[in-house]
Structure 1
Amino acid sequence: MANQQLFLGVDCGTQGSKAVILDALSGEVLGQGAASHSLISGANGRREQDTGQWLEAFTRATRQALLAAGVDGQSILGIGVSGQQHGLVLLDQQGEVLRPAKLWCDTETTAENDRLLKQLGGEAGSLERLGVVIAPGYTVSKLLWTLEQHPDVFSRIAHVLLPHDYLNFWLTGRCCSEFGDASGTGYFNVRTRQWDVQLLRDIDPSGRLQGALPELIDAHQAVGTILPGIAEQLGINPQALVSSGGGDNMMGAIGTGNIRPGAITMSLGSSGTVYAYADQPRVSPDAAVATFCSSSGGWLPLICTMNLTNATGVVRELFDLDLNHFNDLVAQAPIGAEGVSMLPFLNGERVPALPHASGSLLGLTMSNLTRANLCRAVVEGTTFGLRYGLDLLRQNGLQSRSICLIGGGSKSAVWRQMVADIMNTPVICTEQREAAALGAAIQAAWCTSSASGNGDSLADLCARCVKLDPASQTLPDADHVQAFEPVYQRYRQHVAAL
């Protein structure tokens, strides 16, 4: 049909892959699909994934989305890929994956990261050289870990890719990377937008890593067209252009229209993130703020907490509660959970920087140890971590007129109200909760119109395709705002004691 322009956006996350079919002319999402991934967890905080699962999930989610949309895959004009950031995918000369991908939430490489950070001259040295402070989740420590733990694998490395780079390689046969996702590697300079080749030579003087780096491309550039065999497997037009893609946070920014200063996106996913667009690389002196590049031509100062719906999920499972029952219990307990505090650092923590921390429950008494208070305490605890991060961004000069909420947690009205109250800022959700997959589809439309040299700007596309959900708008309640302040300060004191 001539009155449609169809694009596929796929987000490869930690828990699964999600696909959306977007009509860029009407701005409507016509269909969606999803397929899950499992984690390989081990001692010392090992968190890895089998990349074969990503390809299967990508295929299943895409076919589901096409079916749900009732469209012919041959009419898809472009594909955008969003991927979980920081993960390490190693390929040999033949393009085969050498070992499971080490993920963003893996903390096994904390010792290697500490050594690399020391070599860079600590946090201040890392900020000066790269514009970010490397953290255990970043890709660079995973490379040093591979060299030391798996020298046989290391000796066969021909390509070093991030998850979304790997999916683009699978689709097109071309190895390249885009500035937004590259920002989270720890060997990329966010000010100059170039690889820090010397850093990799210091890890491996042979130059193997330097030779394995993908080519860097601009956000509006296409990687290429899809390989015929893969097109057939997905049921997609082989002429479809594959866009540069990006990290899930960068794609979430596009999918919430966060492409100019003033907007703030907050994601309530497995991890929690808060980010805002900037047109200059104003690097914060605070190590917790990562001034990544955006996948829309600017920068994306960002904070990330490691524990969000993964922490609330554990408490839900403990009490065997479905989501509605859990939310009811959270609503039953008063603000501050009658003195019960949870520091939800079940996975270690990045903001505040406590990679070795574990979770703790504080303030328990004979009378306040109830299911409702524990459910309330885990939601409050995770949200306080985001408030801490938002305060850091605000100190760095970011304005926040409203917060756009995305991710699984944003579906809960109780949680939305809590975010509005704790942040003292109005909150609204986008109609399309899969903001990263939508952002990837919008970016694909942008790349396609850039390639043809006519058509829509990214701002045009976001204006048409990003729709806010008026029913989700939540304003802070002045009494709640006041009641939360001492509870937040109590949280800060508990964290300081760690």
Structure 2
Amino acid sequence: MELEGRSLVLGIDVGTSSVKAVLLEPRSGDVLWSQSTDTRAGLQSECGAQGKEQDVCQIIRALNDCLGALPRERLQKMSRIGVSGQMHGVVFWKSSQGCHWINSENLRFFEPREVSRLITWEDGRCSTEFLASLPPPQSHLSVASGFGCATIFWYLKNRPDFLREYDVAGTIQDYIVSMVCGMKRPVMSVQNAASWGYFNTRTKTWNVDILQDWGFPVSLLPPAVDAGCIAGKSSYAWCGIPQGTEVGVSLGDFQCSVFSSATESTDAVLNISTSAQLTFSMPEGFQPEDHPSPAEAMTYFPYMNNRYLAVAASLNGGNVFASFVRMLAQWTSELGLETSDSTIYSKLINAALSEHETQLTICPTLFGERHAPDSVASVSNISTASLSLGHVTRALCRGLIENIHSMLPSQRLREAGITRIIGSGSVLARNAVLQQELERVFSFPVVYGKDVDSAVGAAMIMRS
């Protein structure tokens, strides 16, 4: 039900490096306004390079700034808010003191209080040996490092005192919804719960018996509800958004990104940004097997209306290419030369566009894979004829596409009735070499320009 005079929907996405907000006209689906703000929230972790943590205060500050930049008269017309965010990660807080609300320049917004750092989906503190020591889940999804429950198990073993400081946990997007709605305890969508591990998507319940037997603090786990449900109403006029605006239970950024772009059941979506994901929607009534296979590259994520997405999710995407650029920048600096990352990037792309073929082979799994966490990157078939920047860049782009193809091959897509691929993501959009390799490796028609957008997807899900 729309409130009188309030007809717009706000979509928010809390990403790994930025937050984004869009204003959606629900009837037409048109995006009326869009705003993005970098969070710059990364922190050094006690776990060294393996730990990936972010400053929640900085994330919320960026979110408040992002919303504050939207037109005030538009925000006053909000009827609903949809929120998505980075999956798998976990943040802890105290239910009685999660935030405090302040007024500044005629706007009311909240600031975190008694909140831990966000341990993100990229976190690698849970080694293969540690994960093997955990109880098998009663779920079709395996547990990997960076998953909320795995991270909590790590704290239980290594820093139990830390867990005693808090009585609530959730994803960063769960935290935001809880604070906006003034909820003492969050609710979590099935999408986010599944991303934590130890969650059965058939029964939509946590593996409480298994976890309790291992001393896991199950009181931290929020109750799970279906995606698309209303979590509550805004308890204050947040950044100009009226008090009493309905707020949906937070969603997974991946599912929202697919929702924003795949218009046909015969579409597959390939998104390459920081990481890479190739996905398509499974038929109605499909149910995955309850027994996870850790070595299986393709998994099934809960989507909308009790349906699933078949997903090949690689940890290696734009982050690998960015590491390549940083390496070259460091080399040139050590040689006494200075040049910007953007200059290096453009020269690499131009060089690779002039090299249509290469015998050089690069396995780009620099960050491992969830189904093969110990995998590393490698280079082979090196010859004197393939040492140019053009050959190396072409081979790297080819390797990134072939890696995702090895996880979800063309033949499997054809068997599922897929007829085209929607190519999206910031890295794919600006890398013509990746686009060429995508079309060569998969041999499907590829549609570009219909970019996935989790914030738009979150708003679209809440507009009905």
Q: Equivalences for 1:113-128 in 2 at 5 Å?
A: 113-116=131-134, 119-120=135-136, 126=137
Q: How far does the alpha carbon of each residue in 1:258-310 deviate from its partner, in whole angstroms, 9 at most, with x for none?
A: 6x743212111101011222222234866222212114542122121111111
Q: State the match for 2:255 in structure 1.
A: 250
Q: State the match for 1:200 in structure 2.
A: 211
Give 2:439's match in structure 1, choosing from 400, 403, 420: 420
Give 1:282's match in structure 2, choosing from 278, 284, 288: 288
Q: State the match for 1:32 in structure 2.
A: 34
Contact preservation (8 Å) 1:144, 1:203: no
Aligned partner of residue 204 in structure 1, secondary structure: coil
Is structure 2 residue 453 aligned with structure 1 residue 435? yes
Is structure 2 residue 122 aligned with structure 1 residue 105? yes
Aligned partner of residue 367 in structure 1, secondary structure: helix
Is structure 2 residue 151 aligned with structure 1 residue 142? yes
Q: State the match for 1:186 in structure 2.
A: 197
Q: State the match for 1:329 in structure 2.
A: 351
Q: State the match for 1:17 in structure 2.
A: 19
Q: Which letter maps to 2:287?
A: P
Q: Which letter maps to 1:275?
A: T
TM, length-normalised to structure 2: 0.84
Q: Which letter maps to 2:434?
A: W
Give 2:93's match in structure 1, choosing from 91, 96, 108: 91
Q: Could you tell me which runs of 5 or more consecutive residues in structure 1 were left unpaired when the two chains were aligned.
A: 121-125, 447-498
Aligned partner of residue 196 in structure 2, secondary structure: coil
Give 1:266's match in structure 2, choosing from 259, 262, 270: 270
Q: Which letter maps to 2:244?
A: Q
Distance 1:140 1:384, change over 3 A: same
TM, length-normalised to structure 1: 0.78
How many angstroms does 1:223 deviate by?
Answer: 0.8
Mapped to 2, the partners of 1:366 and 1:139 lie a distance apart of: 47
Contact preservation (8 Å) 1:33, 1:63: no
Q: Which letter maps to 1:49?
A: Q
Mapped to 1, the partners of 2:372 and 2:409 lie a distance apart of: 18
Is structure 2 residue 62 aligned with structure 1 residue 57? yes
Give 1:358's match in structure 2, choosing from 355, 362, 376: 376
In percent, how many aligned pairs have the same letter? 23
RMSD: 2.5
How many angstroms does 1:53 deviate by?
Answer: 1.9
Distance 1:100 1:394, change over 3 A: same
- Number of equivalences: 422
Mapped to 2, the partners of 1:63 and 1:325 lie a distance apart of: 38
How many angstroms does 1:364 deviate by?
Answer: 2.5
Q: How far does the alpha carbon of each residue in 1:309-354 deviate from its partner, in whole angstroms, 9 at most, with x for none?
A: 111122233253445443322312223xx2222222222222xx33
Mapped to 2, the partners of 1:290 and 1:427 lie a distance apart of: 23
Mapped to 1, the partners of 2:30 and 2:90 lie a distance apart of: 34
Structure with the larger helix share? 1
How many angstroms does 1:393 deviate by?
Answer: 9.0
Give 1:241's match in structure 2, choosing from 234, 241, 246: 246
Is structure 2 residue 332 aligned with structure 1 residue 315? no
How many angstroms does 1:2 deviate by?
Answer: 8.9
Mapped to 1, the partners of 2:146 and 2:162 lie a distance apart of: 20
Q: How far does the alpha carbon of each residue in 1:419-464 deviate from its partner, in whole angstroms, 9 at most, with x for none?
A: 1221111111354x35211101111212xxxxxxxxxxxxxxxxxx
Distance 1:202 1:405, change over 3 A: farther
Q: Could you tell me which runs of 5 or more consecutive residues in structure 2 were left unpaired when the two chains were aligned.
A: 99-112, 330-340
Give 2:160's match in structure 1, choosing from 148, 151, 155: 151
Distance 1:97 1:396, change over 3 A: farther
Contact preservation (8 Å) 1:219, 1:297: no
How many angstroms does 1:21 deviate by?
Answer: 1.3
Q: State the match for 1:399 in structure 2.
A: 417
How many angstroms does 1:41 deviate by?
Answer: 4.6
How many angstroms does 1:40 deviate by?
Answer: 2.6
